[in-house]
Amino acid sequence: MKINKFLEGVFSLIISQIFIKIFGVAYSLYLTNKTGFGDQGNAIYMSGYQIYALLLTVSSIGVPNAISKLISEKNSIGDYKNENRILKVAILIFSSVGFIGSLCIFLFSQYISENIVQIPEANLSLRILSPAIFFVSIISVMRGYFNGKGKIYITAKSQFYEQVAKSIITIVLVEITSKTSNYNTEAMTAVANLSTTLATFYSLIYIYIKYINEKEIEIGNEFYKERILRIVRKILFISIPITISSLVGNLGKNIDSITIVRLLKNIVGEENAKRRYGILSSKVDILVALPLSFNVAFSTALVPEISEKKAKNDLDGIVNKINFSFYSTFLIGIPCTFGMYFYSQRIFKLLFPNAIQGYQLLSLASFSIVFALLIQTISGILQGFGKTKVLLISSIIGIIIKTILNFILIPIPEIYENGAIIGNIISNIISFIILYISLKKCINLEESLLKHSIKPIIASIIMIFISNKLYFYFLILKLPETFCIILSIIVAIIVYFISILGFNFKNIKKIIKIKMLKPLEK
């Protein structure tokens, strides 16, 4: 029952993330290929969005996992009164923090845009984004509450509806603004960011309505009423290290937004520097983040699951969950790495036909995917164990290395923005090593990571070999190149899953037998 509940939460998040990314890619493609927007518009849009994301980290990132851990502990013992007190106190704390964050970004938007990111056109975008920080800080608490209650599907739905609203509003507003402003880039980027604020407000309304409708009258055991100060201490003790480590981790993108334009504008010119940063931030980063968004389901579901099993001293259950999560992480990460490395040019031709520059950056950035996914999964496990300090340490070390390498590598001719990607890969590897060593100290894992990765690696090699052969065969038949790319990608996905299923044929037979025997037993 618990395994089914865990998998239900994981799969609901994965499915929602698939649709979220489909809509996200759709509106990103629209913006990138839109007349008057393009790479320069993306530079303005993303520079404002990255600063927003940084302040958003302070008010909300780490909050869902911290709240879900506390709620799951109370829920498992039937302490529903204190569970609701935790929710109310958390909303009070983080809505206050979110309001301060919104106020800061609104008041200092001009200074940030002119002096920090050095893109003055981002001023209006930052002001428009500022209210979203307040909305998301409350949404994050509510999502943590539902995760802790085992209702992860509500979090999944709220994220999905938010992305749908954002995509639709973005396209509508940018289309209207492009006509009324004669394709003014600054105005178009401002309304693109306005859609984020409106979508988060819609998500807040949705999740509040779900809370009212889903709230049950629960009768549990009698527990003493926890003091508010004690609840505040518990929330902050868990959330602060997670939040700071997430904040430091997100600084990597802000370091790119600050250093790339700053270091390159005197070498290749300001406009060219902005364009290069726009390619990296709006094309490469979005594609590399795709597998991360799918894998986040495991890090989210693992926090309450591991903390509950740890309280019950169920070490075998913890090991099983960890092994399953590692194998699933490799199932997602390895084919994405192979696909983005070998098919980077084809992906750019398919997604950005009017702006295919930068596909080489995607090939290089693909090497960071597996390590970033492993960091994500191990972070969820360590949060479940309550080992939050090591997350902060690994993030700080990673960001220091990333910053140093950016300043060393970016000014070098023939490297330029590749230096930012190389720095990211190296910092991810070092952060992963630190976290994995810490995990091994927490629990004995007999199965190595290499064992979990062998099947996905072999399946990925088969996938690339067959799909690549078919791609060139389709070209020989003189089919349209776009059609050949789409068909070869579809074939790659099918071949990969068939290969993986083939490796696990014995397990599939066992599952089928169990499914067939259960009705007979009844």
What are the residue ranges spanned by the domains of the chain? 46-214
Do the Cβ atoms of 474 and 484 come closer than 8 Å?
Answer: yes
Q: Is residue 480 classed as helix, strand or coil in its secondary structure?
A: coil
Q: How many residues can be counted in the chain?
A: 522
Per-residue pLDDT of the chain (522 residues; tens, 9 = 90+): 445 566 777 777 778 877 887 787 777 777 777 777 776 777 777 766 766 766 666 555 567 777 887 887 777 777 778 888 888 888 998 889 889 888 988 888 888 877 776 777 777 878 888 898 899 889 988 988 888 887 888 888 888 898 889 888 888 888 888 888 877 877 888 888 888 889 999 999 999 999 888 766 555 556 677 788 888 888 888 777 777 777 776 676 678 877 888 888 888 888 888 888 888 877 888 889 888 877 877 777 777 777 777 767 778 888 888 888 899 899 999 999 999 999 999 999 888 887 778 899 999 999 999 999 999 899 888 887 878 888 889 988 998 999 999 999 988 888 888 998 999 999 999 999 999 999 998 888 878 888 899 999 999 999 999 999 999 998 998 889 899 999 999 999 999 999 988 876 554 444 444 444 444 344
d(CA 395, CA 439): 15
Residue-level pLDDT at 520:
39
Do the Cβ atoms of 65 and 380 come closer than 8 Å?
Answer: yes
d(CA 172, CA 26): 13
- Nearest Cα to Cα of residue 240 among 361, 115, 59: 59
Do the Cβ atoms of 67 and 90 come closer than 8 Å?
Answer: yes
d(CA 250, CA 257): 11
d(CA 434, CA 323): 19
Residue-level pLDDT at 510:
46
d(CA 85, CA 83): 5
Q: Is the pTM of this model over 0.85?
A: no
- Which tokens in the block code for residue 400? 């220091």
